Chains A and B, each alone.
Chain A
């Protein structure tokens, strides 16, 4: 096999077959995929959840993860945020010609590893190769199907006054890890992306409470944007307490240096939950027993006042509005 991906690898000819059959299929290794039919087919019943997302990240390998793990976890998490148990994924790769095949293999292996961690199977896929300069190394699209358990009704529009607001752990790790790798920020050394599948965590939460109203993973735009989305969708106010919002010291320090606010920095392995205050303690206890929820914390509550608005009590005891992210977060000049 060639050392680098060539345009011919996407032409549908012999090289394409080699790439799929010798490299990718053995990695994802499952009977549904190995049939290599035009579609994978499987039996299904009940309510299904279906989602898709495309992944573009520079660099494609970053501390704590890579674009492959990101693409699997992102879709698994989107399914999990409606309470679904993720079942099957599709994987589409758009490869820039010239990408070392070893890197493609590394990404595919990382996808399979994440899929195994989540307990999902990649059952269909596609590979295209584009001219040098038409893509940035590698773009990945995944779509996923999951099954929504009986009686589960979780939505960003279901938050209610009186709910507790819970986050599953410290914020901003992913955004700072990627930025530090991209810009060579030595002061953020040691910060790793939190990219992880959250489906087991969500199932544990569902076992602890049958009344989870809203779940969402605060990816791009960070916690601030996610809370604003839910406040608007559910037409409720949200109050959080700065003191209770978990942020690692290294992430706080990096944010201070760059003039960024950790509330707006991306996460890829965290969730926000809203559920009745009475259930909050047992749910947090259940979350803390899970690998990806060990630092779960209650950070605020949902109220009826000022629907659509998120207000934070600062450490000084004053309060301020927390708005959506506008534009890209950019480091300050002076």
Chain B
């Protein structure tokens, strides 16, 4: 397959890995911000190719995982409003909120539909004019512009039964918040590829500037990730810190200006609450006043019980890069992808799910035997 096989070339991967092993002398901790990177790293066994000096940490880059229980509880409450159709990405269904999940609400009779995009939700609204269709806006800068486009489309069509519950989040502000807390000790950041395709790799220049933190944007194939780690090692060994991109086929310095314009036409930055991290100013997106009639939160006033967290679940610490899933007492026992206790075990981008799915190979002390 063109544009993929080139970036999976085993010979080149071995050469790159050898280069990293040769150059790396100082022990370093790099955070892959993005959950898709975590999965790609496990799926390809990248950790097995790295020298013991290079440690990889998962970050908060999983939109489902960082959704707070309070927001989840509100989504579940919205689903139970008579006449409402709740349209959501499939990943959200199984995430346990304080008392229940969307899946359980659905089983009790709430009309919850899995969609693949906001456009599908818009189609639902057109098809059932007597129902109110609420789309759960979960995602980063990659998803938000598409949701903005759906709102503009609904506005243009004069659609009066389409709403968005915006839980969108912005990634550079939360990365800054993590580093500012001082709790997460890092030597470099593997910056997200898809997000950077929208925000541009320049959006990460604050990392070297304000935190003296090396940062390299990577794609999701084995060679992308190895090349990124190679550059990070090079920066660290040279005592330098700069922002760069090795995902040149996907990311422009300034990103996708068209998508950003669309996003900021409909949404404006607002404080957002991240699971495990807390409220971070300017890290969320709310609908602008002009589009408030599409705002599900403002339109449907639902009582939401106080949020509760499972005290044993360490998703928050995992998302901050403070602990690994293996340090959780629930992992693999009281928490599995089929019966998740926390969101990081649910989402296809969650770290706990990655550790569980590919456990053994890299995640646990017992590596698999010879092939």
Contact = CB atoms under 8 A, between A and B. Distances in A.
**A interface SS class:** loop
B109 to A, nearest CB: 14
Contacts of B159: none
B184 interface: no
A253 interface: yes
Contacts of B368: 306, 309, 311, 319-321
A318 B90 contact: no
Contacts of A183: 116
Given A316-B222, A320-B43, A323-B357, A332 B348 contact: yes
B93 to A, nearest CB: 8
A320 B358 contact: yes
A313 B369 contact: no
Interface stretch (B8-16, B51-59, B202-210, B306-314): B8-16
Nearest to A241: B371
Interface string B317-352: 000000000000000000011100000000111000
A328 B299 CA distance: 33
A150 interface: no
A249 interface: yes
B337 A334 contact: no
Interface stretch (B136-144, B227-235, B238-246, B267-275): B136-144
A333 interface: yes
A256 interface: yes
Contacts of B46: 316, 318
7 contacts: A249-B1, A256-B4, A326-B357, A331-B116, A332-B36, A332-B91, A333-B349
Contacts of B360: 309, 311, 321
Interface in B38-79: 42-46, 48-49, 63-64
Interface residues of B, number: 46
Contact of A334 (B8, B94, B143): B143
Given A306-B368, A320-B42, A333 B138 contact: yes
A239 interface: yes
A333 B361 contact: no
Interface in A280-334: 303, 305-306, 309, 311, 313-321, 323, 326-328, 330-334
B90 A252 contact: no
Contacts of A323: 356-359
Contact of B361 (A249, A305, A320, A331): A320
A229 to B, nearest CB: 16
B264 interface: no
A316 B45 contact: yes
Given A183-B116, A314-B44, A333-B91, A253 B1 contact: yes
B359 A330 contact: no
A245 B52 CA distance: 31
A331 B116 CA distance: 8
Nearest to B361: A320
B348 A334 contact: no
Contacts of A331: 90, 116
Nearest to B5: A315
Contacts of B361: 311, 318-321
Contacts of B347: 333
A58 to B, nearest CB: 13
A315 B348 CA distance: 22
The residue among B139, B194, B361 with the most chain A CB atoms within 10 A of its own CB is B361
A318 B48 contact: yes
Contacts of B291: none
Max chain B C-beta neighbours (<10 A), residue from A252, A314, A316, A330: A316
A323 B364 CA distance: 15
Contacts, number: 105
Contact of B64 (A306, A320, A333): A333
B273 to A, nearest CB: 19
Interface in B100-127: 114, 116
Interface in A230-257: 237, 239, 241, 249, 252-253, 256
Contacts of A313: 371
A277 B143 CA distance: 50
A317 B14 contact: yes
Interface residues of A, number: 33
Contacts of A332: 36, 91, 348-349
B116 A334 contact: no
Contact of A239 (B338, B349, B371): B371
Contacts of B13: 316
A259 interface: yes
A334 B371 contact: no
A256 B1 contact: yes
B337 A326 contact: yes
A252 B369 contact: no
Given A239-B371, A315-B10, A321-B359, A333 B139 contact: yes
Contacts of A253: 1
A314 B116 CA distance: 29
Interface in B249-284: none
A330 B138 CA distance: 15
Given A183-B116, A318-B48, A333-B64, A326 B338 contact: yes
Contact of B45 (A239, A305, A320, A334): A320
B369 A321 contact: no
A321 B369 CA distance: 10
A314 B45 contact: yes
Contact of A305 (B42, B140, B336, B369): B369
Nearest to B141: A334
A272 B43 CA distance: 23
Given A316-B44, A318-B48, A319-B361, A327 B140 contact: no
Contact of B91 (A252, A305, A330): A330
A315 B63 CA distance: 30
Nearest to A318: B45
A252 B360 CA distance: 26
A187 to B, nearest CB: 12
Nearest to B337: A326
B49 A316 contact: yes
Contacts of A311: 360-361, 368-369, 371
Interface string A170-190: 000000000000010000000
Of B46, B89, B139, B371, the most chain A CB neighbours within 10 A belong to B371
B9 to A, nearest CB: 9
